[in-house]
Structure 1
């Protein structure tokens, strides 16, 4: 289920949020702490809610500032307002903090909630870090069987996510069927918010798409349409895109839309991976079936796995953009970047014979580009911040390492002009230009593998100079199509063996 958190500061804005998002949500959270004080009157709220038809189940929340909320009063005032709102609204769920248990006023409030037919969400928030033992905290939260425990933590790494998943798995084994909410904040906690079923969460929270204020907030429409938040189940096949950064990736939209159209029980999520060595353990913990791999992990991906269909080509490239995990847990690597890169280029350039090429960058994608062009173009040069790295790629591809240069060398290039310039670094995502001093002649074809933004500063300069330009969208779509075929092929094999 998806819960819409109403985050406006007036009831009028709440009405607008509800109207825009009602088709995608199953319940709604009243964030009363975010309302202006004049808008918090219980009777006014009751009359407003009675005018909403048909009503949805309500989560009532007045969150303290130390827990990420905006309540500016003291605890006595907060308890008094919650009690009045419970009497006026009869909410289905009321959030009460773990550290309030045992306090007479708050215990009386919990009894009042139950007497009115509601359920207490016993909540604890760690806004700065993931605690050493999430299991112990959740055990305390779940001490009262009539309540729903809710644990929110800040995550900074895959290790944090792994510890949280382990706690959720242990909880499911110890208390099968017990409702709970497991929420991770920050980029590392995204899985907990877009795939709540994996942790056994009863629902996930989202906000109106026009009111996303923080990295831990997901638009409810995206939760519904991209991640199938009201449908996805724990046993669905899980795939991911691995990278750092990864928030820009369109792969979740592409693959999840294909899974939906083909009625596949599968979901695809972004995983921000800063340290690739931590990934294999998490993948096993998640039972991850496959992954798209982006910067800066394509070379590490190949080292993890056995080369797939074209082992010789993969070894020469030294990079993989696709990982597949078989039923026995072994990894297979593939590279769909090469055909993904070539197809759009060959549509724009009728022939690559005799073409002189400048490749900018020396990462995993550059390796794929060089492998794709080495036998198709007459002369290929690599320009990179680290010349030795560029020379290493050329040498491994059995090309002259003397054609490796610095970025500054390209900006002051005095040699024969280039026909094709291929930009493979991620700097365009930061709307930067890797070679701002390079002067285009207007006859080049300029290919930037970045697709967000659609036109990088480099492409904008090239277009203004009269060059033909290609952005990364066509490459993305072609390589993603090939990846999707690999993913669904794996799903078919796994399901046939069940």
Structure 2
């Protein structure tokens, strides 16, 4: 793949390689290619006992795909601490030996490129880079930065920003759209993750992806960029959806929604969104392109006040797990698909068990049952209202007793102090529902109730879906209870979300279930 062909592509995937030996660097290049990278970024300053001419020749003669050579000095976040002139001579050498791209820092780019004009090889493209630490610059300052970088004579410009809030990414998107030459712009870390995935929408030259088995905490993997997000399909018309949560690293929604969008030929992308401030988030991302959201912990209740309208079910529950931006007027409408998703999963598990025992049933199998709910947050409220609608008697435990009492009053239930949960003895045949993060990865060994009380429950439901079979469900199964995984709730609420996101009458249920079985 030549450089001319590379420059004509919309957005490429680049694997940053930081091996400490030339041999490992060559091996990593081949691994990156096999995983789907379009090019690799070689960090020379990471190589121990680096021998410029010898090592560069080995790297460039053995490259299986185009390379971007970087020799980052310590003053710009790298590891090189030697003579500056020697460092720049190494970059010139890389150009002479046939590197596809070289990276030069903005601080030294103008002088270096002016000196190199007479020797500049037409086959090598120069990336002028700038790493911005501290506060993300204003739109005006970024405009000036774009002009300075373009004036150096760069073929491509690159800006890396350490955002402290997801709203700052909007400035990166504007930076991308301002440039007349190819541009790379992104932020790393959980708050900056969206900048990588959506870069193709705003015309980014490339996105970075880490090699499988060598994860970079701030980057998606090459495989996720190729398979889950399919960044090569993202364009300026792609509609954005995402999970509003804090944190979001546990999210699996992108593994379900993105393949489903593609399955029905809908030009949408679903990304995790680490949100610190709901008000600022909604005011920043107010364009029609940001068309809908899943809402996760801890925002399902708080998000209600930022909706222009709320569906009656979500209003009565006091929690929304789905928000849609209405195309006709841009208003935010809140919905709750958790309620039916969770309760129907519990009902169907009981019905399935009864069928295998040859028993007849009619109506809801939870009518008249004691429904013991742990957690009175957004998910807990959905479960409580769903249980009430089926005629169950709801008993609520929450670490915030006032919140438990408030929810109990709303569903004509009973609130109990959280400290009593460990010794609580339910009625025989009761249903237990955990709607707290207890047992979620990485703290998977925790359970919300005493193990010896599980034998009294007919059904145990856990809203936690990572891991798929939590310690609570394992213990409940051993005690003889019917168990219902949070994966089932996750799937069923997603059916409702999909129809709201896309405006379609029905979700492709079987396709989505197959995805879940394969990915969870």
TM normalised by structure 1 equals: 0.88
1:157-196 superposed matches below 5 A: 157-169=165-177, 171=178, 175=179, 177-196=180-199
- Alpha carbons of 1:415 and 1:461: their partners in 2 closer, same or farther (altered >3 Å)? closer
1:249-268 superposed matches below 5 A: 249-268=251-270
CA distance in 1, matches of 2:232, 2:298: 33
- Alpha carbons of 1:127 and 1:209: their partners in 2 closer, same or farther (altered >3 Å)? farther
Q: Give the deviation of 1:489 after TM superposition.
A: 1.3
The alignment status of 1:33 with 2:36, answered yes or no, reads no
CA distance in 2, matches of 1:393, 1:316: 11
SS state at 1:404 partner: strand
Q: Give the deviation of 1:189 after TM superposition.
A: 1.3
8 Å Cα contact 2:238/2:289 also seen in 1: no
Partner residue in 2 for 1:380: 394
CA distance in 2, matches of 1:247, 1:109: 46
1:58-97 superposed matches below 5 A: 58-88=67-97, 90-97=98-105
Deviation per CA, 1:15-61: give whole Å up to 9, x if none: 433333325222221222222224x5433432443344xx4222111
Q: Which of 436, 455, 467 is 1:442 aligned to?
A: 455
Q: Give the deviation of 1:122 after TM superposition.
A: 0.9
The alignment status of 1:487 with 2:498, answered yes or no, reads no
Gaps in structure 2 of 5+ consecutive residues: 1-11, 352-364, 507-520
Q: Give the deviation of 1:134 after TM superposition.
A: 2.9
8 Å Cα contact 1:158/1:278 also seen in 2: no
CA distance in 1, matches of 2:288, 2:390: 41
Partner residue in 1 for 2:125: 119
CA distance in 1, matches of 2:73, 2:202: 26
- Alpha carbons of 1:358 and 1:10: their partners in 2 closer, same or farther (altered >3 Å)? same
Q: Give the deviation of 1:377 after TM superposition.
A: 4.4
Deviation per CA, 1:221-259: give whole Å up to 9, x if none: 111111212231122111111111111111011111112
SS state at 2:301 partner: helix
Q: Give the deviation of 1:109 after TM superposition.
A: 6.2
| RMSD value, Cα | 2.6
Deviation per CA, 1:184-204: give whole Å up to 9, x if none: 122221111112123331111
8 Å Cα contact 2:126/2:156 also seen in 1: yes
Partner residue in 2 for 1:17: 28
CA distance in 2, matches of 1:110, 1:466: 76
Deviation per CA, 1:264-304: give whole Å up to 9, x if none: 22111110112111121122157301111111111233333
Partner residue in 2 for 1:370: 384
- Alpha carbons of 1:396 and 1:135: their partners in 2 closer, same or farther (altered >3 Å)? farther
8 Å Cα contact 1:454/1:473 also seen in 2: yes
Q: Which of 159, 175, 199 is 1:151 aligned to?
A: 159
CA distance in 2, matches of 1:107, 1:305: 52
CA distance in 2, matches of 1:467, 1:69: 56
8 Å Cα contact 1:359/1:382 also seen in 2: yes
The alignment status of 1:4 with 2:15, answered yes or no, reads yes
Q: Give the deviation of 1:136 after TM superposition.
A: 2.7
The alignment status of 1:202 with 2:205, answered yes or no, reads yes
Moved more, 231-240 or 157-166: 157-166
CA distance in 2, matches of 1:107, 1:145: 7
The alignment status of 1:348 with 2:349, answered yes or no, reads yes
Q: Give the deviation of 1:379 after TM superposition.
A: 1.6
Q: Give the deviation of 1:422 after TM superposition.
A: 0.7
The alignment status of 1:357 with 2:368, answered yes or no, reads no
CA distance in 2, matches of 1:224, 1:205: 12
Deviation per CA, 1:369-411: give whole Å up to 9, x if none: 01110132432111001111111112233x14xx112321111
SS state at 1:187 partner: coil
The alignment status of 1:472 with 2:486, answered yes or no, reads yes
TM normalised by structure 2 equals: 0.84
- Alpha carbons of 1:266 and 1:27: their partners in 2 closer, same or farther (altered >3 Å)? same
8 Å Cα contact 1:27/1:56 also seen in 2: yes
8 Å Cα contact 2:499/2:505 also seen in 1: no
Q: Which of 290, 293, 296 is 2:292 aligned to?
A: 290
SS state at 1:452 partner: coil
CA distance in 2, matches of 1:284, 1:219: 29
Q: Give the deviation of 1:364 after TM superposition.
A: 0.8
Q: Size of the alignment, in residue pairs?
A: 475
The alignment status of 1:451 with 2:478, answered yes or no, reads no
- Alpha carbons of 1:378 and 1:57: their partners in 2 closer, same or farther (altered >3 Å)? closer
Deviation per CA, 1:61-80: give whole Å up to 9, x if none: 11233444332434233223
CA distance in 2, matches of 1:47, 1:282: 48
Partner residue in 2 for 1:56: 65
8 Å Cα contact 1:307/1:314 also seen in 2: no
